[in-house]
Structure 1
Amino acid sequence: MHQPNRTIKDYLFILLKGLCMGAADVVPGVSGGTIAFITGIYDEWLSSLKRCTPAVLLMLKREGIVKTWQYINGNFLVALFGGILISLKTFAAVVLVAMDAYPILVWAFFSGLVAASIYHLVREQRGWGLTEAFGLLFGIAFILAISFMAPAQLPGHGWILFLGGFVAICAMILPGISGSFILLLVGLYPVFLQAIHNLEIVKLLWFGAGCICGLVVFSRFLLWLLHSYHNQTLSVLIGFLVGSLYVTWPWKNALLTTTDSHGRTVVLQQENLNPFNFLAVTGNEPTIGLAILWAFLGVALVLGVELAAHWIKRRTTAPASV
């Protein structure tokens, strides 16, 4: 893969997509992979990650930094991961505050994003048969099974943090599975937040090493699946997204919570409620009308991004065809 000819404006768009991915990855139940799918960079992201192997070091020595950088699509990766890291440090805080202040509206917005991306993926599907139907049902059942599992509590040993980073980053790559939700599920989310808060470098290095290994290994496997078994893989991914609609259901009641290093309440387990029973169970207004409005805003955002992407693609490819 060689780096496409892009302008500064193009890389700013990629940075913006990275910001959205980072914000999504902070929220348990929402996947950065979903955002990558929605914004049309999923295949390029996986293809670029696939090339980041130890063999690149040999190529760097043999052919130099310029060709190696072009080979791994370095500008794209820097812009994307730069956006993700900036978001984790800044914009994600806004998302968390919004989740605390307006949880129903935020979850409704996420539900709209997911619903629109399901529509987008179904249009990409080349056909439906028995294996595709099985893949769809498997994807739905897998996400529901994860969402119903009771959270565990694992010790914060280095090798456990490595495995946690490996699994969490794999979940981030997959649309519909949230890396932070996986960390919550195995009890490592508070450990990770505590490590960030106290700058426990050794723990963060273990976690980061797991993330890097997960990105390199799993991205290659998933890209192979998409190329070799496109329809079946896509049907499973659609199932993941359909199942995640249960996770992003706006009206929730917390069953089990904990407190993070900043004194903020983190929900470990919750149940979905009928919006018409929400007031009676929680004592809070369901704001159904506003929730529907924000869900439609989520749908409109996805469709708008898709239309903008097509418009930008037409503008950038038109001169080349002359």
Structure 2
Amino acid sequence: MDSNILLNMLKGLFVGGSMLIPGVSGGSMAMILGIYDKLITSVSSFFKHKKQSIIVLGTFVLGAGIGILLFAKPLLYLTDTFTFPMMYLFMGAVVGSIPMIYKKADIKKISLSVILYTILGMAIIFMISFIPEELFSVNLDIGVTDILLLVIAGIVAAIALVLPGISVSYMLLVLGMYEETMKAIDQFYLPYLIPLGVGVLLGIILTTRILEKAMNTYTAPTYLIILGFVIASVIEVFPGIPSGINIIISIGTFLIGYFAIRKLSAFDN
């Protein structure tokens, strides 16, 4: 198997496994792992470069699907049981990705606009966190209205899926659909998952096309706003200051996350 294909699958595996943890963003994980730009380009230019896009997206989605099925529950268990070490691991990974994202912005020197664009990205994430939870009410007893709501919810969830720093699981909590979606995944309940998936697909196509155009036309501002998203996501998952032995363990997991991502970034380059 080609090493790039295997690497895409492994990155998808990690993104899929981690994206259902409340507070952890799938987009941030894709950005951290250095596959974000490739995914955006593959979706937005799918019909121009079908073969390459199918390979990139197919291997990533396969890995993500396996990650969701195999690792979502164990990671949720580990996060619930060992909250501080696990959250510090994610924080270390996010902090380790910041130099890579800043480099993509191609900034020559720090200016007021650089700071303002980054703050804007952070502010957007903080504002989203104030949205009241349970805006929708959809259960597994699906009717016609529920199908429409699921498609709309899928589009909203796709925006969270694509944009770094916005947790899909948190967005599902806001929509009041987190528990039902987890049940539907666990039971593989297609009447619920299909309309939700259609909405996600539509949302991904729309969001990625807008985002790729912004990345190509307004490179520095777009990446600086994304940098703000990612920095804010560190604050969002911050569980507080650990105590006792957790202090040492959490510092250790933070460093593991940080250096693992720095090493991976160097390997990709």
TM-score normalised by structure 2 residue count? 0.89
Within a 5 Å distance, the mapping from 1:114-129 to structure 2 comes to 114-127=94-107, 128-129=110-111
**Among 156, 172, 175, the residue aligned to 1:183:** 172
Please state if 1:85 is matched with 2:74.
Answer: no
> 2:23 aligns to what?
29
Tell me if the contact between 2:85 and 2:253 (Cα under 8 Å) persists in the aligned partners.
yes
% same residue: 27
CA drift at 1:198: 4.2
Residue identity in the other structure for 2:81: A
CA drift at 1:308: 1.9
Within a 5 Å distance, the mapping from 1:231-310 to structure 2 comes to 231-251=220-240, 275=241, 287-310=246-269
**Among 131, 136, 158, the residue aligned to 1:154:** 136
Tell me if the contact between 1:162 and 1:208 (Cα under 8 Å) persists in the aligned partners.
yes
More helix per residue: 1 or 2? 2
Please state if 1:213 is matched with 2:202.
Answer: yes
**Among 197, 221, 224, the residue aligned to 2:213:** 224
> 1:313 aligns to what?
none
Deviates more, 1:82-91 or 1:189-198: 189-198
Residues 116-139 of structure 1 deviation map (CA, whole Å, 9 limit, x = unaligned): 112221233222444332221111
Partners of 2:187 and 2:76 in 1: CA distance:
20
CA drift at 1:104: 0.8
Partners of 1:286 and 1:176 in 2: CA distance:
29
Partners of 1:16 and 1:166 in 2: CA distance:
26
CA drift at 1:177: 1.0
Deviates more, 1:153-162 or 1:97-106: 153-162
Tell me if the contact between 2:89 and 2:255 (Cα under 8 Å) persists in the aligned partners.
yes
**Structure 2 residues not aligned, in runs of 5+:** 139-145
Tell me if the contact between 1:144 and 1:246 (Cα under 8 Å) persists in the aligned partners.
no
Tell me if the contact between 1:16 and 1:83 (Cα under 8 Å) persists in the aligned partners.
yes
CA drift at 1:208: 0.4
> 1:108 aligns to what?
88
Structure with higher RCO (Cα < 8 A, 6+ apart): 2
CA drift at 1:96: 1.1
CA RMSD of superposed structures (Å): 2.0
Residue identity in the other structure for 2:155: F
**Among 12, 20, 32, the residue aligned to 1:18:** 12
Q: 1:286 to 1:235 in 2, by over 3 A?
A: farther
Partners of 1:197 and 1:16 in 2: CA distance:
22
Partners of 2:231 and 2:21 in 1: CA distance:
18
Tell me if the contact between 2:105 and 2:221 (Cα under 8 Å) persists in the aligned partners.
no
CA drift at 1:153: 4.2
> 2:32 aligns to what?
38
> 1:282 aligns to what?
none
Partners of 1:175 and 1:196 in 2: CA distance:
23
Give secondary structure in 2 for the equivalent of 1:287.
helix
Partners of 2:259 and 2:188 in 1: CA distance:
40
TM-score normalised by structure 1 residue count? 0.75
> 2:143 aligns to what?
none
Residue identity in the other structure for 1:293: G
Partners of 2:187 and 2:105 in 1: CA distance:
46
CA drift at 1:286: 7.3
Tell me if the contact between 1:167 and 1:179 (Cα under 8 Å) persists in the aligned partners.
no
Deviates more, 1:40-49 or 1:193-202: 193-202
> 2:74 aligns to what?
94
Within a 5 Å distance, the mapping from 1:52-71 to structure 2 comes to 52=46, 56=47, 69-70=50-51
Tell me if the contact between 1:29 and 1:181 (Cα under 8 Å) persists in the aligned partners.
yes
Give secondary structure in 1 for the equivalent of 2:19.
helix
Give secondary structure in 1 for the equivalent of 2:129.
helix
Tell me if the contact between 1:172 and 1:178 (Cα under 8 Å) persists in the aligned partners.
yes
